[in-house]
């Protein structure tokens, strides 16, 4: 990157923009199918329409993690059915595939301090918490290393529909490496050991809005 035109930065920006557009098509779009893109604990508060054949648009899992859905007669299960009643494109298993993609993208963007990606995927309030943490890390000259090594389970733990505002709560169980280093490369938090982490994220969308993106509204540890 020294002494020349920063073409690598332009390429990175193009890739990031492509991933965000794919994610917008995954967590909610106007077709009857969902295709996930390629999104640890982060601070607590943390769309293009796709055309094609059913085979082309069939959801592809990001990983082989176990998926769990609430019983159909439970309050969460009934709320999911109500959401699908308003938005026929909503399908719980496809939503979980998209949620995993969002999880990996957000985790990676937070570690890298990628504000543009975080802004596209988070609610305003949640983004404020993330941005504050990123800014504090930058001021301290610290670097974050976060790797999602494997995903064990993704489960819908709750759902609620208030008018046209839908909330879906998802639990992620993953093996991660989380480590923060200082200016000199010294470890100031975490370690390079693999640790099982449970994250519970709340996604929200106004089903009456044209924008099909589900925004991350809150995060907490399980």
| DSSP state, residue 220 | E
Token pair, residue 131, equals 């941005």
Is the Cβ–Cβ distance between 181 and 143 less than 8 Å?
A: yes
d(CA 79, CA 91): 12
d(CA 164, CA 155): 23
d(CA 102, CA 171): 13
Residue 7: the pLDDT is 35
Residue 187: the pLDDT is 95
What are the tens digits of pLDDT across the range 79-103?
999 999 999 999 999 999 999 999 9
Token pair, residue 129, equals 């918490």
In the predicted model, is pLDDT for residue 10 greater than 80?
Answer: no
Strand stretches in the chain, DSSP E: 66-68, 143-162, 165-181, 187-206, 215-221
200: three-class secondary structure by DSSP:
strand
Is the Cβ–Cβ distance between 105 and 112 less than 8 Å?
A: no
Residue at 61 is within a domain: yes
Residue at 165 is within a domain: yes
* Mean pLDDT within 138-146: 95
Residue at 181 is within a domain: yes
What are the tens digits of pLDDT across the range 15-66?
444 444 444 433 443 322 233 333 334 443 332 222 222 233 334 456 788 9
d(CA 23, CA 120): 10
What is the secondary structure of 90-104 as a DSSP string? --HHHHHHHHHHHHH
What are the tens digits of pLDDT across the range 151-208?
999 999 999 999 999 999 999 999 999 999 999 999 999 999 999 999 999 999 999 9
Token pair, residue 149, equals 């090594």
Residue at 198 is within a domain: yes
Residue 47: the pLDDT is 28
For the chain, give the longest Cα–Cα distance.
Answer: 63
d(CA 153, CA 2): 43
What are the tens digits of pLDDT across the range 101-125?
999 999 999 999 999 999 999 999 9
Residue 49: the pLDDT is 25
Residue at 2 is within a domain: no
Residue at 86 is within a domain: yes
Residue 112: the pLDDT is 95
Range of the domain at 144: 7-221
Residue at 1 is within a domain: no
As for how many domains the chain has, the answer is 1
Residue at 40 is within a domain: yes
Residue 62: the pLDDT is 62
* CATH number for 34: 3.10.450.240
Total Cβ atoms within 10 A of residue 122? 26
Residue 64: the pLDDT is 84
39: Cβ contacts below 8 Å, ≥ 6 apart: 23, 100, 101, 102, 103, 104, 105, 106, 107, 108, 109, 121
């Amino acid at each position: 990157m020294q002494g020349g035109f920063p073409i690598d930065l332009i390429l990175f920006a193009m890739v990031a923009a492509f991933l965000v557009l794919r994610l917008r098509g995954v967590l909610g779009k106007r077709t009857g199918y969902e295709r996930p893109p390629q999104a640890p604990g982060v601070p607590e508060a943390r769309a293009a329409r796709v055309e094609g054949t059913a085979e082309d648009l069939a959801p592809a899992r990001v990983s082989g993690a176990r998926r769990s859905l609430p019983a159909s007669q439970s309050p969460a299960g009934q709320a999911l059915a109500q959401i699908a009643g308003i938005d026929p494109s909503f399908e719980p298993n496809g939503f979980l595939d998209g949620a995993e993609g969002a999880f990996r993208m957000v985790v990676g963007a937070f570690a890298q301090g990628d504000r543009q990606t975080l802004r596209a995927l988070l609610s305003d309030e949640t983004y404020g918490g993330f941005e504050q943490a990123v800014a504090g890390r930058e001021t301290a000259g610290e670097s974050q290393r976060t790797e999602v090594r494997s995903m064990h389970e993704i489960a819908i733990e709750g759902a609620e529909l208030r008018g046209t505002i839908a909330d879906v709560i998802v639990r992620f169980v993953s093996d991660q490496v989380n480590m923060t280093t200082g200016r000199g490369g010294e470890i100031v938090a975490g370690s390079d050991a693999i640790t099982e982490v449970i994250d519970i994220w709340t996604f929200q969308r106004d089903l009456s809005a044209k924008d099909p993106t589900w925004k991350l509204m809150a995060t907490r540890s399980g």
